[in-house]
Structure 1
Amino acid sequence: MKRQIRNPQKFDTLELYSALARDQGYRIDAQGDIDAFHQKIGDSLKASLDNPSLLHGKRVEAMFAHVAGAMGRCKYIKQEDGGTAFATSDDFIAPDYRIVTIADELFLVEVKNFHMKHFSSRYRIKRPYLKKLEAYAKINRADLKIAIYFSTVNQWSLLSPESFMEENGELWIDLAHAMARSEMSVIGDRKIGTLPLLRFEMLCEQDQDKPPISEDGIAEISIRETHMYCADQRLEGAQEKDIAFYLMRYGDWDVTQGAVEVSDGTLSKVSFLSTPREANNNQEFEIVGSLSSMVCNAFRELTISDDTGIVSLDVKYDPSFFRLKIPEKYKGKGLPIWQFIIQPNRKFFSDKEHNL
C-alpha cells in the first residue's frame, strides 16, 4: 500500500490561510494580513510542540494508518476528519479514518492513545462524544470502530462501540477486555510464532592489512557474508531470511550479542541472538509478537529518540515499507511459522467480574 501523491505545501497552506481568513477577516491582497497569518501560525505551532499529550496523540494517529496499511488487509485508507464540512446540526463528529478492506468492508475509525499506569487502568469515553461519532458513521452507512493504542504494552485493539462497558453513565474498557474483544484481525493482524532461537551471524574478511584488535577492544572489520539461523538451522531462501531478520529486529524477543570469534588477532565472526523472554515448556514454538506491534516498533525507530523523545509525527515511507511479507498460508522449510488470527469474544468477562 502506497501513499497517494499530493502537494501539501501548495494546497494545505492555502486552505489553512483561507480557514483563518474566515475568522480573522484576512485578505489575500493585504501584506499585513499575510504577516499576521505567519505570526499566528508560528505561535500556534510553538504551543503545539510544547504539548506532549497532543504530540503523542498525533503520532499514534499517524501510526495507525501505517499499521493498518502494512498488514495487508486494507485497500483504501483515508483521513476522514480533514477539510471543510457542513451539517444541519452539531450532532456529528467525523472519526479519524475511513477504511475499506480487501473484502470490501467499510468502517470509520476513531484513534485513541492510552498510556495506562496499571493493567487494571480503564480507558474512558464519554457517551455524548461516542453518540456523535456513531451519528456520523450512520449517515455514511458505515460501521464505527474505536482503535485504542495501549502504549505501555505496545498493543492495539480495534473495538465496536458495544464492546465498551458502562458504569455511572460513563463507558470504559480495560486492557483485558480490549484484547479479548478486539477486531484487529479484520485489518490483518495476527500473532506470529517460530522456533527459538534466531541467530544473525556476520563473517568478517581476514584481511592481513587490517590492524589487530586494539587494547581497548576496538576492531576494524569488513563483512564478508551474513547468515540467519532458526533453531540452529541455517536459512537458505531469501524470503525466510527476510522474515527471520524482521522478527528478530521488531519482535518481542530479547536480542543479545552472541559468540565473538577471533583469528590471528583479528575479528572473524560476530553473532546476535534473539530469544524469548519467557520459555513455555509445553510447546516447541514461541510467540514472537503481533504484526501490529512489530509495525509499531519499526515506526517508533523513525519517530522517537530515546534521548530526546518524539522527533517526528509521521514518516515519508509508505505503509508497504513496514510490511512483514508472510503469506497467510505460508509454510516454511528452515523457518517454521505459526500464525494465530485472534477472533473477538464479545462475551468475555474477567475473572474478577465472574467473582462479583
Structure 2
Amino acid sequence: MALRRGRKGNLGLEVMPLIELALPTPDGQRMLSDRHAETVTAISDALRASLDNISRLQGWQTQYAFEAVVVALGAVRLIKTEDSGLFYFDDEDGELQPPDFRIVLNDGTHLLVEVKNVAPTGTGLEAKVRAKDMASTQAYAQATGGRLLYALFWSRMSMWTLVDPSVFSLAGSQQRLSFVDAIKVNEMHLLGDGMLATEPPLTFSVIMDRDKERVMERLADGETRELTIGGVELLSAGRVITDPDEQKLAWFLMLHGDWSQTEKPRFDEQGRLVRVDYISAPETPDEDAARQIEEQGFAFFGTLSRLYTLRFLEATTTEDGDIRALREEPEPALLAQLIPDDYWERPGHVLRIWRFRLYPAGTAPVGTPSGAGSTVAPMPMPSPSD
C-alpha cells in the first residue's frame, strides 16, 4: 500500500473559515452575504502582507517541503496538518500550541512535528526556539497523545534533522541547538530516511551519428560541421546501464545529487567529435579523500531527504532564488520506488548502490553497530562479473 492524498480540497469550502478571521464580529443587522467586498478587501490585504514577507514565505515553503519529503519517503501510515482550525482547551496548566504536523508511523506511534527553517547567521549554525513556544507545544503533545519532535531544515546545507526537544539547551528565553549536536541525535530514520552511495562516476553520454555528419562551411582555419545525435547512454563507473529502473535511479542521482558536474567532449584520431560526456563525480579536495573513495569502492550522495528537498526547491524556486510556489504535489513513495527493498536481491546489476540508515547512539536496532552516527547498510550489489 502507498500513501495517497486524503482530501483534494475545494477553494469554495476552504475559504469559508477565512471569513471568521476577516470579519470576526457581526455588523448590526447586515447580512453576511452583503459584506462580500469587505471580506475580499480584508483577505486581500492579509495575503499581500504575507506575500511581501519573505521570512513567512520561506517558512511555509519549508513546511511544505517537509511534508513532501515524508510523502516521498513513503514509510509512514499518515501525515496530517495539525495546526489548522479552531480548538478550545482547559488553560489551567498553561498555554497549548499545536505543532505543524501529526504523523502516524507504521507501528501506530504518533509523532507531532514542528518544522523550523534554520537560516545561516554570522554566529554559526544554530537552531533557536522560544522557550515558551516549546513549552506550550510540549503541553499540546502531552494533552493529545503524541511524541513531539522538531524537524529542522538547515538551509545552508539543505539538510534535515529530526530531534527531540530534550536535546535543546536553555539560554535565557530561548532553547538552542547547534548543527553538530543536531546531527548526532538525528532521528530522520523514523521517517524512512537514509544515505545513498555508489561507485563514481555517473556519466550521461550524448553519442554522435557519424554517418549523418556533414560539412556545412569550409573556412581558412577549419570548417563548420553539422552533427546529428545518434543516441545517449548512462554509465556507472564506465559500465553502460541498460536496466530501466537503474537508469531512472542514476538519472535522479545525477539531477539532484551534489556531485560536481563536468562536460568532456571525445574526439577520434581525425579530430571529429564522437561523443560528449557529462560526468558527475564527488569532489576530492585532496589525495587522501580520493584514496578513501577508491579503497571503499563508493562515494556518498547524501540523504534521501536532502536529494528530494533539492528536487522540491528546484520546482518551487526560480534560478535567482525567488519563491514561485509554496508547494509541489509530492509523488507518494517516490524514493522508496527508486530503490525498492528487493533491489539488492536482483542479479546482474550495473548500478551498485549502498544505503545506510543512521541512528543516534543507543537507538539502533538489536544487532547493529552502536555509537553516535552508527550506520546500518544492506550488502552492496555484486559486480557485473559475479
TM value normalised by structure 2? 0.80
* CA distance in 1: counterparts of 2:78 and 2:324, whole angstroms: 28
Gaps of 5+ in 1: 350-356
Match of 2:384 in 1: none
Q: Which has the larger radius of gyration?
A: 2
Match of 2:58 in 1: 56
Report SS of the residue matched to 2:150. strand
Superposition map of 1:296-311 within 5 A: 296-307=309-320, 309-311=322-324
Match of 1:313 in 2: 326
Match of 1:248 in 2: 254
- Segment of structure 1 superposing worse, 205-214 or 178-187: 205-214
Q: What count of residue pairs does the alignment treat as equivalent?
A: 348
Match of 1:354 in 2: none
Structure 1 position 281 matched with structure 2 position 287: no
Q: Match for 1:272 among 272, 278, 292?
A: 278
Q: Offset of 1:94 from its aligned partner? A: 0.4
Superposition map of 1:25-44 within 5 A: 25=27, 29-30=31-32, 32-44=34-46
- Segment of structure 1 superposing worse, 72-81 or 256-265: 256-265
* CA distance in 1: counterparts of 2:256 and 2:105, whole angstroms: 25
| Closer/same/farther in 2, CA of residues 121 and 31 from structure 1, 3 Å limit | same
Deviations 1:250-295 (A, max 9, x none): 1110122222558999965332110101244122211011101000
* CA distance in 2: counterparts of 1:131 and 1:296, whole angstroms: 29
| Closer/same/farther in 2, CA of residues 30 and 94 from structure 1, 3 Å limit | closer
Decide whether the 8 Å contact of 2:73 with 2:334 is kept in 1: no
Letter of the 1:344 counterpart: P
Structure 1 position 341 matched with structure 2 position 357: yes
* CA distance in 2: counterparts of 1:27 and 1:236, whole angstroms: 73
Decide whether the 8 Å contact of 2:212 with 2:228 is kept in 1: no
* CA distance in 2: counterparts of 1:50 and 1:56, whole angstroms: 11
Superposition map of 1:3-152 within 5 A: 3-23=5-25, 25=27, 29-30=31-32, 32-89=34-91, 91-117=95-121, 120-152=124-156
Deviations 1:159-216 (A, max 9, x none): 011121233463211110001111001101111000010001123456749885999x
Report SS of the residue matched to 2:338. coil
| Closer/same/farther in 2, CA of residues 70 and 267 from structure 1, 3 Å limit | same
Decide whether the 8 Å contact of 1:206 with 1:266 is kept in 2: no
- Segment of structure 1 superposing worse, 138-147 or 166-175: 166-175
Q: Offset of 1:25 from its aligned partner? A: 4.3
* CA distance in 2: counterparts of 1:213 and 1:144, whole angstroms: 69
Q: Match for 2:236 among 226, 230, 233?
A: 230
* CA distance in 1: counterparts of 2:362 and 2:54, whole angstroms: 34
Match of 1:166 in 2: 170
* CA distance in 2: counterparts of 1:266 and 1:57, whole angstroms: 52
| Closer/same/farther in 2, CA of residues 294 and 20 from structure 1, 3 Å limit | same
Report SS of the residue matched to 1:45. helix
Report sequence identity in percent. Answer: 26
Deviations 1:297-340 (A, max 9, x none): 10011111122511111113434456662134632721111111
- Segment of structure 1 superposing worse, 93-102 or 16-25: 16-25
Decide whether the 8 Å contact of 1:196 with 1:276 is kept in 2: yes
Q: Offset of 1:81 from its aligned partner? A: 0.4
- Segment of structure 1 superposing worse, 44-53 or 331-340: 331-340
Decide whether the 8 Å contact of 1:96 with 1:111 is kept in 2: yes
Q: Offset of 1:116 from its aligned partner? A: 1.8
Superposition map of 1:258-269 within 5 A: 258-260=264-266, 269=275
* CA distance in 2: counterparts of 1:210 and 1:43, whole angstroms: 62
Q: Offset of 1:226 from its aligned partner? A: 2.4
Q: Offset of 1:77 from its aligned partner? A: 0.7
Match of 1:184 in 2: 188
* CA distance in 2: counterparts of 1:4 and 1:306, whole angstroms: 33
Q: Offset of 1:93 from its aligned partner? A: 0.4
TM value normalised by structure 1? 0.87
Letter of the 1:316 counterpart: E
* CA distance in 1: counterparts of 2:24 and 2:218, whole angstroms: 68
